[in-house]
Structure 1
Amino acid sequence: MGQEFERILNRFLALSPAGLERAVLALIDEKGIDEGNRGALMGFILTKLAEDSPQALLKILPRLPVFPGAEAEDARVRDMFASNALENWAKADPDAAAAWIGDHREQFSGSFGEGVKQRVIAGAASKDPVRAFELVNEMGITDQERAVMSITRAAKGEEGRTAALAALRDYLPVSGGVEKEKMLDKGIGELAARSFRQGRSPA
């Protein structure tokens, strides 16, 4: 891929989310573009949309063409983009992201389940760990130990770790049994490790 490709890519990446959405649809219909370049441009644009406008990305995904003979890989890539978008969306509006999963899960492959829910609660936890723990139950997440780790790993800075610890203690009281005590210990251990690592990092 040469300078011409880079020039086109930079032009696309300078677009607004609405412009990127139109660019993806134009790329789908464009007949005169090399398939390798089409795929590369599509990947860059979809990645940027997942970050800048998750809802737009999720709206576009079902309209992307499926390549014959590559259905499994196609489904995996769609799930990856959807997961990235939903995690980013959950950072701003976890309830909307969780509701979207319930309404649109049938559009994606069978792998679009527990893993993406974990991504959503991680996104929610970056701003509101209490709401993230509430979503564990509301979304029917079965691997609660993994959920605890997803939420505690999302904590940023001293304030974030303090909020995550308070939410963790409310969600997993010691009186909740041996398994919950173990999860509480793991969550506290993860927060302590993050505090140590971030404390050693340069400002």
Structure 2
Amino acid sequence: MTTSKPAVIRLTRKESQEETRRRLVASAITLFARSGVAGTSLNAVAEHAGFTRGAVHGNYSGKDDLALAVAETVAGELAPQLERTLAAPGSGGDRLAAYIRGFLSYCAKRPEATSALIAVVEYLGRADRGFYNERAAASLGDLIELFEEGQRNGEMRTFDAKTMAFAVRTVLDSAAARMCGTDVDVEALTDEIVALFEAATRSIEFP
């Protein structure tokens, strides 16, 4: 009796390149979270992923390009979820609370990815202030719309929506960094931040 060998699945050139990129980004996430971007060499990223250095240079123009790929990968996991949360039915206060809880829940479940994203933003932000400003602007737009809607329907008090959105993102980014560096009661921290911004935004006249 003869046994047939399992079929070998051959990847196309495009699929092979995508798999290589995926493994390099995953490797970079691990190492950036552990040692920071500046403290991680491209050789280390390649070796950790099981490749030679040439694999990095064949897919990315340098460390900045790889760091951007890490940021896009992590943000690509989180941003759509947060956008759906803010666009969902319900009061502005409920959606803001869900946004805060969703962001901090992701950070708690994916501390390595969160640490890597923080490291990338710090690294690229030092060299190009515009990078940080662009990311900040992209993350504030939906929050600003939420606050302006809440003010129009009387649910939220009068305040500068852009300033409040920036305050939310600053507090959440600070909380994310804290969660990655120390043991934190995530549930208690989340409840505290939700309560903080509910008090800061809610109109006392809203039923």
Q: Is this a same-fold pair by TM over 0.5? A: no
Structure number with greater Rg is 2
Q: More relative contact order in 1 or in 2 (CA 8 Å, sep 6+)?
A: 2
